[in-house]
Structure 1
């Protein structure tokens, strides 16, 4: 079972050190004192209970600013925290604790993980450019291995999951950063692919290209599944590289295909590839918002919760409306 270390630097004059959190929620605790006399409280807890603990600490320190809480991952501890020890505890206490588990990493940890892959930078643009070059070569040469390699490089997942989380939490700052990364990333990808389409002879009958010029209801199912898988992987703390492979498979190839076909003047086929790309974007974001909501991810304060719920409703309405519109287009043009 994954553990986290919560390091607490309490505000000055705070003496209620023994009643910070419920002892049943933690594996172990100890207090350190620095040379300057600063008190550091250490709590070792299951990852699934850290959100509850952080919420309790934030409530206790409400109105104070001179404190700091740091959450650190734990690779291993000795003696180990075994499941047998938990089974020997009182069943009633265990049931209460199970009811309080969120079955995911904490909201705060999730936010920091996603924020790292959302922030716009030159590295992000370089990775987008490199992945497009590799994907274009794979598509033109009908080489699936190259396409898969491009999927591994592409940092497309982060901004889309960030957009879903931002609308769930009502976080406008994260929303703006996510939209900026998506806009610049896709603009660069389409533009670079367009230029390659201008100078390279494109054969639309190549299977890697041709298969991405039509849209079906199966693609909607794929997009929804990819969105759920990506968000669940983030909330469970799985490596971002693994998530990138799962979700980039839905976004990168059709995006590059769209640019290549536009550059080659094959506008009818480019329309189909562009529609496929848009379908995946809509499905991933819709599935992401619903997944986050079902996992109980919400803002901490009441005011923020109201804003988050309102923004989530608007986002779901918009994504569902677009998905219905796409379904109608698919029915009349591709079936």
Structure 2
């Protein structure tokens, strides 16, 4: 029945609109059904699911070959990264067997075979742990323990790394399903599963938390993306599953949630990288502005700290300005533009003829400073391990090239053992003054030969006593025969140490130095 408020023309227009909408819906449904029929018959129907599943099951088994290839690929990866050789690192990617259990996890999740899933996870976890420990062992015995470019590149994953892992996983899953196994080689290089694990091992061996957690996040990103993408691809190709419809929907939700959980921190990391790149451009422009158009070129070095920015710049200019004036001007402009505290140090070079020479000298000085900082980090990490203290407890003086650490007491370790540790570190760093302050331990007895002179063992004991007193700083007391005590006092005085007390002893005994502790 027509509404009394609607005209015949309005009713006709509504009917035409409803008819048009219905035809579009029918057309969309027809296309969807046609596509589904084509996909089911022509694409998914041509896959031998049983053969694919059996192959994936076999490749997930924990075998001696799998463990051997994990160790070999891990060893090649960490050596290539320490040498900063991309070719060697690529070789480790090609032989790494971790792709097989990860693909197994994805397909096991898709078909709902939890026994298979358990075997794949076991192989993956064991392979991961073996790779990390094997790399850490190599790094511990390696004379090279600096953070190379190959290591640093695996410590700051971002959203682009997740996208690379997803695209590579799609290619890998397609290759597995359609029998294009040769494609797996390219996928292994693109996703790079072993180099992040090698970097994790480096971080573990050197107690570098930044490298450890950054590389671990990259590995987890690649692992999760490959496994979940393989699951989605297998479900898309119609692999039969034991999951109910409700469980399948819940699985799809979990896959989506996992990708979102990875994308959020990686997206923030990508944003931070982009912000720092933009900030460096702003800093360069701000330094040019501070010189009022008189600067020929600006070569800034920027360090981004937690809540501030440090800028050191070399500026080549036709006219020299007051350094404090241009630094204050640049600092005010950059803080306003970047919204963070900024410290600015500027070195000006006036002569155009000496620009290249000055630039070379400054760059060499900067490189020497950077090398010294890297060397100091390496020394601090080694002393941290040897002394059993955190890296932050080690005092480093870059200008004097001096490193000082107070060692924790080690069971059974004598003063001679601590002195030997100091000697070994100092032998590898001849330009540095390495000092290990040992815990309070008993001093060795100074023995004498028949002619009342210290014998070989006695001379070693005197040298150890001198070293210990210089490190600990507590006064000494000498106990022994008067003649022998006088000889020891003379040797200590030559080293600038004056005992404050003497106690007589048996004439047949040697001299026993003791710490003079307050009562």
Residue 122 (structure 2) aligns with = 180
The structure with the largest alpha-carbon Rg is 2
Q: 1:125 to 1:254 in 2, by over 3 A?
A: same
Task: Write out per-residue CA displacement over residues 162-186 of structure 1, whole angstroms, 9 at most, x where no aligned residue.
Answer: 1111111111111101110111010
What is the aligned length?
235
CA distance in 1, matches of 2:122, 2:93: 21
TM normalised by structure 2 equals 0.42
1:271 is aligned, of 186, 210, 213, to 213
Q: 1:118 to 1:150 in 2, by over 3 A?
A: same
Residue 234 (structure 2) aligns with = 292
Residue 113 (structure 2) aligns with = 171
Structure 1 residue matching 2:199: 3-state secondary structure: helix
Q: Which runs of 5+ in 2 are unaligned?
A: 1-36, 275-519
Runs of 4+ in 1 over 6 A off after TM superposition: none
CA distance in 2, matches of 1:311, 1:169: 14
Residue 258 (structure 2) aligns with = 319
Q: CA deviation at 1:332?
A: 7.3
CA distance in 1, matches of 2:58, 2:214: 33
Contact (CA 8 Å) 2:71, 2:134: kept in 1 or not?
Answer: yes
Structure 2 residue matching 1:101: 3-state secondary structure: helix
Q: Which stretch of structure 1 is more off in the superposition, 282-291 or 116-125?
A: 282-291
Matched, 1:139 2:139: no
Residue 247 (structure 1) aligns with = 188
Task: Write out per-residue CA displacement over residues 127-156 of structure 1, whole angstroms, 9 at most, x where no aligned residue.
Answer: 100100111111111112211111121111
Q: Which runs of 5+ in 1 are unaligned?
A: 1-95
1:102 is aligned, of 31, 34, 43, to 43
Structure 2 residue matching 1:196: 3-state secondary structure: helix
Q: 1:172 to 1:98 in 2, by over 3 A?
A: closer
Q: 1:307 to 1:165 in 2, by over 3 A?
A: farther
Residue 311 (structure 2) aligns with = none
CA distance in 2, matches of 1:217, 1:324: 6
Contact (CA 8 Å) 1:214, 1:273: kept in 2 or not?
Answer: yes
CA RMSD of aligned residues (A): 2.5
Q: CA deviation at 1:324?
A: 3.9
Q: CA deviation at 1:321?
A: 4.7
Contact (CA 8 Å) 1:132, 1:256: kept in 2 or not?
Answer: yes
1:156 is aligned, of 87, 98, 108, to 98
Matched, 1:211 2:153: yes
Q: 1:265 to 1:97 in 2, by over 3 A?
A: closer
Contact (CA 8 Å) 1:227, 1:247: kept in 2 or not?
Answer: no
Q: 1:199 to 1:172 in 2, by over 3 A?
A: same
CA distance in 2, matches of 1:98, 1:253: 38
Residue 67 (structure 1) aligns with = none
CA distance in 2, matches of 1:287, 1:236: 15
Residue 115 (structure 1) aligns with = 57
CA distance in 2, matches of 1:98, 1:284: 23
CA distance in 2, matches of 1:185, 1:225: 24
Contact (CA 8 Å) 2:196, 2:219: kept in 1 or not?
Answer: yes
Structure 2 residue matching 1:214: 3-state secondary structure: coil
CA distance in 2, matches of 1:316, 1:259: 29
Q: 1:202 to 1:220 in 2, by over 3 A?
A: same
CA distance in 1, matches of 2:135, 2:190: 17
Which structure's relative contact order is higher, taking Cα pairs within 8 Å and 6+ residues apart?
A: 1
Residue 330 (structure 1) aligns with = 269
